[in-house]
Structure 1
Amino acid sequence: MKELTVPATVGELDHVQEFVENELEAQGIPMKIQMQISIAVEEIYINIARYAYHPQIGQATVRCAVGGDPLQVTIQFLDSGKPFDPLAKLDADTTLSAEERDIGGLGILMVKRSMDDVVYEYRDGCNILTLKKSI
């Protein structure tokens, strides 16, 4: 797995996106799947940047691997910020109007629906969120 470690700030989003996009393009991943992954990467990374270390700034590591048979993309996000399992919260109720819905939860719901597998673990003081997408 190739990896990139950056300060967990919103300003680093472009570097994170470029890192992942370069890996996907190098492996010839179809554009439709690249776009799905790009949206998921943005959602997860921005949440880390905004909340993991708030009000301080820590580090975020993004790992990317493409391989296997059938071909699969694996993206991992690692941070040593506050323990947080984004999968533990109930999915946002999209049948309610925006005014009736609780704030938050739509981004992770979108990630869960666009990826084939999303797994969270907290290990050795580190949040690890793994996204997988089969090609």
Structure 2
Amino acid sequence: MEDFSSKEEKFEQWRYKGCDDMDSEKEIVIPAKVEELPKIVSFITEISRATDCSERSINQLMLVVEEIFVNIAEYAYKDKEAVAIIKGKLYGKPPEIELKFIDEGVPYNPLEKDDPDIDAALEDREIGGLGIYLVKKKVDNISYERQGKKNILTIRKKMI
């Protein structure tokens, strides 16, 4: 198991909490910067170790997590220094993971954007939208809410 206390000392804004119980929630708070992505990968890996799921499920989850976090890091704060919070929880058998991505950036509901026409010729497609389309296809449930100044994007994926 990774030594999170030493990382907490090294990265002031990074925090990890949780316990080994499958129904407990774990949380990471990190600077909303793309270069922080490896910490999130470690965080998700730590949560998924409690499951006996396929490598395919983990890889799909990592693609989804990367897409969502990179969007927060690149667009949520409009060049301001800020943090992102990711909360993770496992449920039941077969295990299902729930991840909440929380930021205090500009209000943005990615689910309001129409899915891209993936059958259109490349030159006829609009730029953007493929990332959230991929996210929607790789998870079992996705929702968005705005609570006060917070964007909260929640995903659930069966880890089979």
Fold equivalence (TM over 0.5)? yes
Q: TM-score range by the shorter chain?
A: over 0.9
Instruction: Within 5 Å, give how 1:41-52 maps onto structure 2.
Output: 41-52=65-76
> What does residue 36 of structure 1 align with?
60
TM-score (norm 1): 0.95
The Cα shift of 1:69 comes to 4.2
Structure 1 spans left out of the alignment, 5+ residues: none
The superposition leaves residues 66-89 of structure 1 with CA deviations (integer Å, 9 ceiling, x where unpaired) of 122452111110000000000001
> What does residue 134 of structure 1 align with?
158
The Cα shift of 1:118 comes to 0.5
Structure 2 spans left out of the alignment, 5+ residues: 1-24
Instruction: Within 5 Å, give how 1:4-23 maps onto structure 2.
Output: 4-23=28-47
Bigger radius of gyration, 1 or 2? Answer: 2
Matched residues, number: 135
| Higher RCO (C-alpha under 8 Å, 6+ residues apart) | 1
Secondary structure, aligned partner of 2:122: coil
The Cα shift of 1:28 comes to 2.5
- CA–CA separation in structure 2 for the residues paired with 1:69 and 1:32: 18
> What does residue 125 of structure 2 align with?
101
1:74 equivalenced with 2:98 (yes/no): yes
> What does residue 10 of structure 2 align with?
none
Q: Which moved more, 1:65-74 or 1:123-132?
A: 65-74
Kindly provide the amino acid, as one letter, of the partner of residue 131 in structure 2.
G
Q: Is the 8 A contact 2:51 2:95 kept in 1?
A: no
- CA–CA separation in structure 2 for the residues paired with 1:30 and 1:11: 27
- Identity across matched positions, percent: 37
